[in-house]
């Protein structure tokens, strides 16, 4: 979470910097457009954000792929690519998605919140969001990159989506960015599936085993404590001979879920089967 905090502390600075420079013709954001946006692109963006594009140059920058800089002569005025806005948009996305998940999963710890956020805003997901919005056709890219099908590149699409979020934040504030993300990210995500995955660790562990061609996980009661009517069970889960986790609870099912949760936390941190694969 320290990386997220570092990003968040930069937001107000960047927004103030942009607002202060909006009317300055000598800075990059306020510079004269070398690659003006088509009217259809502006109409598309205004439809996506639900508001007029007050600072069109911001959106032009958000859609400018770095390949444009490589194709220009060295003595030509260099436009700004979307890399800085991508950095900003990444932080805004993290903030708003984190807040949404924080409220949605009140019992989840930091690790599980981070995992769920990663399911929503990983590079592949962001590229799919961008493709669904038609951002690929709006990208301003160099001729050499265009020949390499950059418009359908996962990296270019994901970068453009984050940069667009950054542009919306600077143009419309956090409320505008939140509207955009709720409409075009959160509403497109199967939150019910995330809820089920969040709480059913045994199913997640089975899916992991199946996808990696491993035998089914085994749950073993290794200890029983207390009187008959108030026992506490300690259960250990293993897979392919590797102990992955341990859980302790008054009910066996709950102990198994705790053990499976510990197993998934281990698997998401490192691959416990690496040593076996090498032997």
Across 140-151, b (16+ Cβ under 10 Å) vs e yields bbbeebeeeebb
Q: Which of the residues 80, 94, 162, 197 is marked catalytic?
A: 162
Token duo for residue 159: 């970068």
Angle 88-92-94 from CA coordinates, rounded to 5°: 115
Q: What is the dihedral of CA 140, 141, 143, 146, to 10 degrees?
A: -110
Residues 248 and 262: beta-carbon distance below 8 Å: no
**Rounded distance, CA 187 to CA 158, Å?**
18
Answer yes or no: are the C-beta atoms of 65 and 156 closer than 8 Å.
yes
230 is catalytic: no
Element (H, E) at 178: helix 154-184
* 278 in active site: no
Cβ–Cβ < 8 Å for 160, 48: no
d(CA 81, CA 122): 22
Compute how many other C-beta atoms are within 10 angstroms of the C-beta atom of residue 58.
24
* From 80, 90, 171, 256, active-site residue: 90
Distance CA 13, CA 169 (A): 13
Strand order in the sheet with 218-225: 218-225, 232-239, 242-249
Q: How many separate helices (H) and strands (E) can be counted in the chain?
A: 15, 3
Q: Which residues belong to the active site? A: 90, 162
């Amino acid at each position: 979470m320290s990386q997220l905090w570092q990003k968040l502390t930069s937001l107000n600075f960047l927004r103030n910097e942009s607002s202060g420079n909006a009317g300055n013709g000598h800075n990059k954001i306020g510079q004269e457009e070398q690659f003006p946006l088509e009217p259809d692109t502006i109409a598309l963006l205004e439809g996506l954000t639900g508001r007029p594009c007050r600072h069109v140059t911001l959106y032009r920058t958000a859609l400018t792929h770095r390949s444009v800089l490589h194709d220009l002569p060295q003595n030509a005025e260099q436009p700004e690519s979307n890399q800085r806005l991508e950095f900003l948009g990444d932080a805004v996305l993290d903030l708003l998605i984190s807040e949404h998940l924080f409220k949605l999963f009140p019992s989840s710890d930091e690790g599980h919140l981070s995992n769920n956020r990663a399911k929503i805003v990983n590079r592949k997901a962001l590229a799919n969001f961008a493709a669904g919005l038609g951002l690929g056709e709006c990208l301003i890219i160099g001729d050499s990159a265009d020949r390499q099908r950059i418009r359908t590149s996962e990296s270019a699409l994901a970068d453009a989506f984050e940069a667009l979020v950054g542009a919306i934040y600077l143009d419309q504030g956090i409320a505008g960015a939140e509207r955009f993300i709720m409409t075009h990210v959160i509403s497109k995500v199967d939150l019910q599936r995330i809820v089920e995955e969040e709480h059913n660790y045994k199913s997640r562990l089975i899916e992991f085993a199946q996808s990696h061609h491993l035998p089914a996980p085994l749950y073993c009661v290794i200890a029983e404590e207390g009187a008959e009517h108030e026992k506490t069970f300690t259960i250990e889960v293993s897979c392919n001979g590797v102990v992955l986790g341990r859980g302790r609870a008054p009910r066996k099912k709950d102990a198994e879920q705790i053990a499976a949760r510990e197993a998934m936390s281990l698997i998401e941190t490192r691959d416990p089967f690496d040593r076996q694969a090498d032997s």
